Amino acid sequence: MKITSAEFVMSNSDVAKCPKDRIPEYAFIGRSNVGKSSLINMLVDRKSLAKTSGRPGKTQLINHFKINNNWFLVDLPGYGYARVSKKDKKVFQKYITEYFEKREQLVCAFVLVDIRHEPQPVDMEFMEWLGTNGVPFAIIFTKADKLKPRAIENYVNTYLQRLLETVWEEAPKHFVTSSANRTGKEELLNFIANINLDFKANH
C-alpha cells in the first residue's frame, strides 16, 4: 500500500465524539517512550504527523488521522507513564478501555513493545485484557535497529513463548520494526491493506 494522504481529523477523550465514518480503524498503543510517534511518522512518510516528544506520556487524547481517505490511524495515549497523577491515569485508562469496548470501526489494535526490554507485566496484562475482550490485535516490536539479527530472533521467540505460557493458544501476529531504518514498514502496510480489502468486501 502506498500512502498518498494523511490528515489529522480530531483529538478527544470521549469515544462518543470519535469520527462517525464507517471505515476501518487501526489503533496504536504502547507504554510511554516505546517509539509510537516515530513509528506512525515512518509509516505515513511524514516528519511530524504524530508529535514525538522527549517527555513520556505526551499523547493524552485519542488522536484520529485519516489515511488515503479510506481508513483511520488512531494514536492512543501510552499506558504506564510516571509523570501524571493517579487521578489522571485513572481517567486515561477509563476512556482507553471505553474506546476498545465501544468503538465498532476498530478492526485491529497494534500493541507496541520495545525490543530491548524484558517482557513487561503491564504489556502482558494489557494484551490479556484485549484477548479476553475479543479485541483483535497484533504486536509491533520497535527499535529493532538497536539489536543484531540473531538477538532479535531470540528475543521475539522468547517473548512469544512467554505469551503462550499464559492464556494464549497461539501467538498473536507480530511485526519487527525500526523507525530509524524503516524496517517492517512494507509488511505492516500490506497487513493493513489486506484487512481493508476484507472490510470492503464484507460491508
**Residue 89's CATH number:** 3.40.50.300
In a domain, 194, yes or no: yes
61/175 Cα distance (integer angstroms): 25
Which residues neighbour 112 within 8 Å (Cβ) at sequence distance 6 or greater? 28, 29, 30, 31, 34, 35, 36, 39, 139, 140, 142
Among 6-15, 46-55, 133-142, 181-190, name the one with the lowest average pLDDT: 46-55
Of 47 and 63, more confident: 63
Which band of pLDDT confidence, cut at 50, 70 and 90, is reported for residue 160?
A: very high
Which residues neighbour 82 within 8 Å (Cβ) at sequence distance 6 or greater? 32, 56, 57
pLDDT at 89: 55
How far does CA 178 lie from the centroid of its chain? 14
In a domain, 89, yes or no: yes
In a domain, 64, yes or no: yes
Tell me the pTM: 0.89
Which band of pLDDT confidence, cut at 50, 70 and 90, is reported for residue 138?
A: very high
What percent of the chain stands above pLDDT 70? Answer: 88
Number of domain units in the chain: 1
Q: Which residue range(s) make up the domain with 138? A: 6-202
In a domain, 105, yes or no: yes
pLDDT at 82: 46
pLDDT at 83: 53
In a domain, 108, yes or no: yes
Q: Express each pLDDT in 97-134 by its tens digit.
A: 889 999 999 999 999 999 999 888 888 888 988 988 89
pLDDT at 56: 45
Q: Express each pLDDT in 3-47 by its tens digit.
A: 999 999 999 888 999 999 999 999 999 988 899 999 999 999 887
In a domain, 126, yes or no: yes
In a domain, 169, yes or no: yes
Phi and psi, residue 26, nearest 5°: -125, 125
In a domain, 1, yes or no: no
Q: Is the pLDDT of residue 190 over 50?
A: yes
Among 59-73, 85-99, 173-187, name the one with the lowest average pLDDT: 85-99
**Residue 60 burial (CB < 10 Å; 0-12/13-18/19+)?**
middle
- Mean pLDDT, the chain, integer: 87
